[in-house]
Structure 1
Amino acid sequence: MTTYPSDSTRLKTAKLIEEWFLATGRDLPWRTALPHSRGCSPWGIMVSEFMLQQTPVVRVLPVWEAWMKRWPTPADLAAEPASEAVRAWGRLGYPRRAQRLHAAAVAIVEKHDGAVPDTREALQALPGVGTYTSAAIAAFAFGRRESVVDTNIRRVHARLFTGSALPAPSFTAAEARLAEELLPEDRAESVTWNAAVMELGALVCTARSPKCEECPVAAECAWLAAGRPDPEYTPKGQSWHGTDRQVRGAMMAVLREAGAPVPRELFLARPEGWDTGAVTGAALDSGLDSGPGSGTVDVTWSAGDGVFRTLDALHRLQAPADQLERCLAGLLTDRLATESDAGVTL
């Protein structure tokens, strides 16, 4: 059951968490809520919010820095094809985020004169920007008083005020009301509060191994007071090995590395006896019916070593033929890849 804190408790809790954050918060290049922050453009904050969706900071940092060096404004990104955004996305996963970020950059140029809009409503009208992302950009880029609630914040709220080990599987109306109740009235303080609680959940109040001895509000925590009860449900972990996501990711790695179209046959089976650096007249056993009396395809193709390494990694997964076909078709349907007579490319 949600316990709404008194004004005095809320103020005390907020002060303790914010003091902890101001003293120990990570100096991330897109963070503006710390006194020593280096400053970041609204576009840089927007890019970080897209990249940080379901992806840890340590993986995002190098990609974000390279991205901002190459495309410091929405106009810079919009001027290039979406395929370049997907290529630069690297191994962050969920490459459709790169497509949507590119589409958002185009919309910003066409509808907002190249400037990231500063209201939640205008932000949410952009491609790929949902409820959470619009609130986060409005708060962190423009200092708006917005309730920003991600997984980390939900977990802190659940433990601190409801005594639950984990928040509900899906975001509830009660959680939204609690988040609004906790949000400071002052705009600047509300931005710091959002960033501070998010940081507490990311570094201390973690899902699996919370560091309660380091928590600045351990004495106020309803979950600790209840004896750290177990979760009411078992979170479903995201599987990876053997999934379509893994195979699609391996195919995307090939396309990012390749500077020219890749014959579709090379995605569907590994040629016997190929030499790294070239496939010349190789009989490719695709396991498919490629003609009367034949189960092979003749391929003449050459590329750099990096492409062959990624192709080798794809085929080491030993995915069945129907999965390879399905995953390649999915990339084409999602427009993460295109196909011509010459082959498949971003």
Structure 2
Amino acid sequence: MYQEVLKWFRENARDLPWRGQCSPWGILVSEIMLAQTPVVRVQPVWERWMARWPTPSVFAQESPAEVLRAWDRLGYPRRALRLHATANVIVQKHGGDVPETFEELLALPGIGNYTAAAVAAFAFGQRETVVDTNIRRVHARLVIGQALPAPALNAAEMALAKDLLPVDPSESVQWNAGVMELGALICTARNPKCETCPVRDQCAWIAAGQPAPTYIPKGQPWAGTDRQVRGAAMAVLRAAKSPVHVDLFWANVTGIDPESADTAHTAEVTSALRKFHGLNTKAPQLQRALAGLVADGLAELENKSYSLPR
């Protein structure tokens, strides 16, 4: 099983910029960006990010507003602020170098068990148990014989992942990366490509007749949610170079013409506002979404105007 996966990975791994000779900082940035976000959306943002901020020290000097603008539409923008806080701690406590151990990485702002293990493994070659959604799915099918892992990561899954991890550190890193890639490209959640799987003959799920999942995964809704409203509001603030008056956000509710209420903004801001008002958000949700951005430190409200944090 091990050698088949490792051989397949060597021959089929995607040529991603955070693999190979990438710096530990670049790997850390990639892991933060890739959380809940597909590779195709992350890669162009990551490449621009690393060209602009190649080290934690350079990034730590940037303003939160520019950080959020550069985050663009990756979603969950609090990740950007946590990464900024992490860079500051790296500069202050680690001399500008990403720490190497799982424990040190876990102590950084917003870094959880998965990210700490992934950076320790992929940036520093350490033997750590890396368990993401793709790895969980491969383990569930290959070893347990289930179509999908449990809805939430549990102790039994972590114990299995630790048991499967090769003893040799370098091989363990390749195993983590190989199983993750296998889940991303072959052992996918929908329509797995079992006919091209390198461990098809050893798969417990196939041996069991490929039983159906015991539950149907529920994707996160988007249309009509507070997240959608918040995202549209953030798009306005990212486009704006000066504070945006509250009336512009409330135009649909108050009946104000957004284009006549303020002429100081660019065409990009006007376009973002049109999309924002195209959601036809009702007053309670609008109030909740805007207040949430301020509470989360993603926006500031001053003199009846919103802006990105300074």
TM-score past 0.5 threshold: yes
Superposition deviation, residue 185 in structure 1: 0.7
Aligned residue in 1 for 2:273: 311
In the alignment, structure 1 residue 218 sits paired with structure 2 residue 206: no
Aligned residue in 2 for 1:19: 7
Superposition deviation, residue 265 in structure 1: 1.5
Superposition deviation, residue 236 in structure 1: 1.4
Give the aligned residue type for 1:107. Answer: V
| TM-score, L = length of structure 1 | 0.87
Superposition deviation, residue 43 in structure 1: 0.2
In the alignment, structure 1 residue 332 sits paired with structure 2 residue 294: yes
Superposition deviation, residue 342 in structure 1: 5.7
Query: For 1:344, what is the secondary structure of its paired residue?
Result: strand
Superposition deviation, residue 170 in structure 1: 1.2
Q: Distance in 1 between matches of 2:264 and 2:138?
A: 53
Q: Give me the identity figure in percent.
A: 60
Aligned residue in 1 for 2:62: 80
Q: Distance in 2 between matches of 1:44 and 1:90?
A: 18
Question: 1:33-182 counterparts in 2 under 5 A?
Answer: 37=20, 39-182=21-164
Deviations 1:232-289 (A, max 9, x none): 11111111000000110000000011111000121122486858xxx44xxxxxxxxx
Give the aligned residue type for 2:230. Answer: R
Give the aligned residue type for 1:154. Answer: R
Deviations 1:201-226 (A, max 9, x none): 00110001111111111111010111
Aligned residue in 2 for 1:30: 18
Extract structure 1 runs of 4+ deviating beyond 4 A: 271-275
Query: For 1:122, what is the secondary structure of its paired residue?
Result: helix
What stretches of structure 1 of length at least 5 have no aligned partner? 1-12, 32-36, 281-298
Pick from 274, 279, 282 the counterpart of residue 320 of structure 1: 282
Checking the alignment, whether the CA contact within 8 Å between 1:261 and 1:342 is kept in structure 2 is no
Checking the alignment, whether the CA contact within 8 Å between 1:78 and 1:106 is kept in structure 2 is yes
What stretches of structure 2 of length at least 5 have no aligned partner? none
> Quick check: which has more Rg, 1 or 2?
1
Checking the alignment, whether the CA contact within 8 Å between 1:261 and 1:343 is kept in structure 2 is yes
Change (3 A) 1:325 1:301: farther
Aligned residue in 1 for 2:181: 199
Superposition deviation, residue 180 in structure 1: 0.7
Between 44-53 and 336-345, the greater mean CA deviation after superposition: 336-345
| TM-score, L = length of structure 2 | 0.97
**Aligned residue pairs, count:** 307
